[in-house]
Structures are given as structure tokens and as C-alpha cells.
Structure 1
Amino acid sequence: MKFDSTEQWKSKVKRVIISQEEIRARLKDAGAYIDSIYDGSPILLVSILKGAFVFMADLCREVTVPCEIEFMAAKSYFEGTQSSGHVEITMDLKHDISDYHVIIVEDIIDTGRTLNEILKILRVREPRSLRVITLLDKPDRRVVELNADLSLFTIPDYFVIGYGLDYGEFYRNLPYIAEFEE
């Protein structure tokens, strides 16, 4: 998708559903949640690229226990607004995670297929513990049984953009979560 103007780009933002201020408040809660569980034990925050990078950057600044970060990349959307049903791991971890408490930092849990595949891969590597924190949870779309340990927001079945989430690689830079005008 290409845009002829900023106005055309902005026209696809149907409405803001979660403000920047709401996100900031819930980030503080998520940081406190992580701190309460891990009292100095080594943790590894794993961001699922590309969508979770903004969330990960802000979340790790709210955590006060020692932590490292790592990245994985997986895709299931392939330029559309509907999950393809096929999950492709395009970048794997470089770390041996067996000495870490691992927290997967996810942008959105939709069908659950992508995250379910990632969890299978990481469980085999025997981390000390494995948890999931997601910015957005869309339970109405779930096709696999999967729940995050912490969801910052639960949303209806909207296609959303902003705060790292995209449509055709655009809109990741919005400081809020918005419904996309299809």
C-alpha cells in the first residue's frame, strides 16, 4: 500500500481505541507485575518482531529487576488484515535460555497460532519459567487454547494499528492504538 499524501494515510485511522496515556498507565502496572515475580533472578524479555518492538522498549524501562532482551520474528499475516493460518519463524533466539526466566512480550494475541508455535519451540529449550505478557488480547478470534499471564488490554475483533502494530508496514509510529479503516 502506498499513500499519495499524509491526509490519505491519516484517513485510514478510523478511531483511537486506546490512548497513549492509557498505554503508559498499564505499562507501569506491567513493570510492577514483573518486578513482583522476579526478585533479582535473571530474566530474559523476548520481543516478537516486528509488532512488539515499541511495547518491549517501553516495558523494559518499567522493569527494575535485572533483565536482558532478545528478539524473535514470526509472521502469519503476509500483508493482509487476516491471519493466513500458517506461522513462519523468520528469526530465532541466539541465547541458550535454560538459565533464564523468559517472558515473551507480544503485541497482540489474535488467533493464538503464532504465539502457540513460539511457546512450543521455547518450552523444549527448558527455561526456568516461561510467561507471556501481551499488549492486546483479542479472545473472540482465538482458534487455539491460549491465555497470556498478563494482558494489558482486551479488545473486540477490530483490525488495529499503532504503537508498533501495522498495516502493510505503515502506522507502527502512532503513539496510540487505533482501529484501521479498511
Structure 2
Amino acid sequence: MNHVNLSTLISEAQIQKRVQELGEQIKERFSGKEDIVAVGVLKGSIMFYADLLRAIDMDIQCEFYGCSSYGNSTKSSGEVKLTLDLANSVKDKHVLLIEDIVDSGLTMNYLKTVIGARNPATITTASLLLKPDSLKEECEVDFVGFEIGDDFVVGYGLDFQGYYRNLPYVATVNMN
């Protein structure tokens, strides 16, 4: 593994506060609805997904997609690879698609198209992080934790070559 220096960008306390706020907002959005399915995008969303679902505090089914557009790089390849599909149908259900980061917008848009083809009642999106200056195509995200710059970040589910996902905060990576 390459040696890297990390600089905290978003603290654990900031993340937890924002996740609670998002949970309340999402709970309000889904108020009165049944058949809600939260779809996490593996592996990066796992920390945000778990904390967010606890903050929403509603009956929600859990599903996952496996996707990659990074490989071992710090930039999106531009090609989305589906590595794991949903185990159950989302037809006529209210889908909450949860991402760790929307960088190019390609993965989120790809998954919205894939899910849309399966005829859900609604698709709502949430991402911990959004890099508006990095978007390669227009991508609307309903619930965003934090907007950040173009720096490569790790922690709270985000990795570099498989490492740093377990950090409780988000940090920028400075390569040496």
C-alpha cells in the first residue's frame, strides 16, 4: 500500500449530527408510506447506510447493490460495474438509494435507471457526500450530507485500495 497522509475534513461528531438530521428529514418524506426498501451501494455506503437507517427509525427492508467505478484509482473510471444485484423485487415499493459519495454522478444515475426499470413506486436518493464540481453529468440527489471539493477522501466507508473504510471521520488523502 502507498503511504498517505490524512487530514480530517469532516469530524465524527459532524457526521453523526448530520446523519441524525437526514434521518429525520427522510422519515418525514416517507411518513405514511409502507413497503420502503433501503438500497445501499457496497462497499462504501455501509457505515452511512447503517447509521442512517437507525436514524430514520421506520420499518424498512434492506437491500444492496455492489458497484464499482474506481478500481484501485482515486478517480472514477467512467465505467460502472455492477458486482452484486438486489436479492428481492422493488416493484411497487418506495426505494431509498443510499450512496457514500456522488463524484461523477455516473453510478447514481446508472442505479436510478436500473431501479427505475424494475417499476418501484418511487425512488429517493441520499448520499453522505456530493462533489458538485466533479459531476460528469447532471445528477439530482434528494438528501445530501455534505458538499465537498474535488479532493480524494477516505473514511466512514470510503476507501483507498481497500483501506481506511473503518475511520469514524472523513479525511482528505495527501499522497507522498
TM class by smaller structure: over 0.9
1:37 is matched with which residue?
29
Return the alpha-carbon distance in structure 2 between the equivalents of residues 177 and 123 of structure 1: 31
Is 1:149 aligned with 2:142?
Answer: yes
Do the aligned partners of 1:87 and 1:114 also contact (CA within 8 Å) in 2? yes
How far is the alpha carbon of 1:121 from its aligned partner? 0.5
Structure 1 stretches of 4+ with a deviation exceeding 3 A read none
Q: What are the ranges of 5 or more consecutive residues in structure 2 without an aligned counterpart?
A: none
Return the alpha-carbon distance in structure 2 between the equivalents of residues 149 and 39 of structure 1: 16
Residues paired across the two proteins, number:
174
Do the aligned partners of 1:136 and 1:154 also contact (CA within 8 Å) in 2? yes
Return the alpha-carbon distance in structure 2 between the equivalents of residues 98 and 13 of structure 1: 45
Q: C-alpha root-mean-square deviation of aligned residues, in Å?
A: 1.1
How far is the alpha carbon of 1:13 from its aligned partner? 3.6
1:161 is matched with which residue?
154
The partner residue of 2:9 within 5, 11, 17 is: 17
Do the aligned partners of 1:44 and 1:100 also contact (CA within 8 Å) in 2? yes
The partner residue of 1:138 within 131, 141, 144 is: 131
- What fraction of aligned residue pairs are identical, expressed as a percent? 38
Higher mean displacement: 129-138 or 38-47: 38-47
Return the alpha-carbon distance in structure 2 between the equivalents of residues 71 and 13 of structure 1: 31
Return the alpha-carbon distance in structure 2 between the equivalents of residues 65 and 173 of structure 1: 26
The partner residue of 2:98 within 100, 105, 114 is: 105
Return the alpha-carbon distance in structure 1 between the equivalents of residues 48 and 62 of structure 2: 12
The partner residue of 1:78 within 71, 75, 88 is: 71
Per-residue displacement from partner, 1:105-159 (whole Å, max 9, x unpaired)? 1000000111111111000111110011000000100011102001010000010
Do the aligned partners of 1:44 and 1:67 also contact (CA within 8 Å) in 2? yes
Return the alpha-carbon distance in structure 2 between the equivalents of residues 13 and 178 of structure 1: 9
Letter in 1 for 2:17: A
TM (norm. structure 1) is 0.92
Letter in 1 for 2:158: L
Letter in 2 for 1:31: G
Letter in 2 for 1:17: L
SS of the residue aligned with 2:119? coil
The partner residue of 2:47 within 47, 54, 57 is: 54
